[in-house]
Homo-oligomer: A and B are copies of this chain.
Amino acid sequence: MMDATTAEFLKYAAEIREEVNEQLATYATFGDGCPERLEAAIRHSLMAPCKRLRPLLVLSAAETCGSTRRTAMPAACAIEMVHTYSLVHDDLPAMDDDDLRRGLPSCHAAFDEATAILAGDALLTRAFEIIARDQKPTSTAIQCVTELARAAGSCGMVGGQADDLAAEFQAGDVEFLTSIHRRKTGAMLTCCLRLGAISAGGTSAQIESLTTYGGKLGLAFQIVDDLLDITGAEAQIGKKTNQDTEHGKLTFPSILGIEESRQRAEKLIEEAIASLNSFGSRASNLEALAHYVLNRNH
């Protein structure tokens, strides 16, 4: 049974998703300057139905700091573009070799490898253009570009993807796996919270609290992802399941077992919510989101 808080949160998330989709559709319209097939590939991956978790984090963080969603919309869309590019490249045959993504054929499967490589490149490039052009004021835009580039770069997301490839068929403990995921998904999720707070003109203390929240949420998210890969149904999560096991990948359940992984995720979510204390009731959506991340089944 769904409680009232969850229902309200889901309504809020759906509203944001619609706003974000509308803005992304505009941002992914290039007109005459862009080859048709390239634009089609970009839109195929960017506009595929999905949760828009990262924009939701950005926009909720901005609201939690007392600003509006509109203020942080360019940053929110930019992060979704960076996330999408990473999926497009991650799915390539030379990487995870995944034909299914967001319930649709992945980019290289729907188009071809070369087009998928270029579509990913274009999305990453567009993300920085959007922030530089539309995020206001200029000083905020520069801070957002710097933070996003750092989180997405070789010491962040891309570094985590490289780690991840190297870690296949390799032994490792929880600390090692945590360090991979801090880079691979953690850096970007934390970046969402920070960009939302920065766009909103939040104080250092607010940015700090949201960073803590983001780090814990990110790790919990990854543990739940690993669990869903074992227990989820393919149709529900929109990509093939049991891929990690098949590929011999190091995951939290493979080291800790299902039960302890679950407990660890729960503890992280508790701590994430505790870090929002100073925001009072303004943080209710981020609290609900943390519960949602823990309890999602896709």
Contact = CB atoms under 8 A, between A and B. Distances in A.
A115 interface: yes
A225 to B, nearest CB: 20
A114 B297 CA distance: 30
Contact of A33 (B31, B35, B85, B155): B155
A132 B153 contact: no
Contacts of A99: none
A268 B83 CA distance: 42
B154 A128 contact: no
Nearest to A161: B118
State the copy count for this chain.
Answer: 2
Interface string A40-66: 001000000000000000000000000
Contacts of A126: 149, 153-154
A266 interface: no
Nearest to A129: B149
A282 interface: no
Interface stretch (A88-96, A252-260, A273-281): A88-96
B129 A150 contact: yes
Contacts of A121: 85, 89, 120-121, 124, 158
B149 A35 contact: no
Interface of A: 30-31, 33-35, 37-39, 42, 85, 89, 92, 94-95, 112-115, 117-118, 120-122, 124-126, 128-129, 131-133, 138-139, 141-142, 145-146, 149-150, 152-156, 158-159, 161-163, 165-166, 183
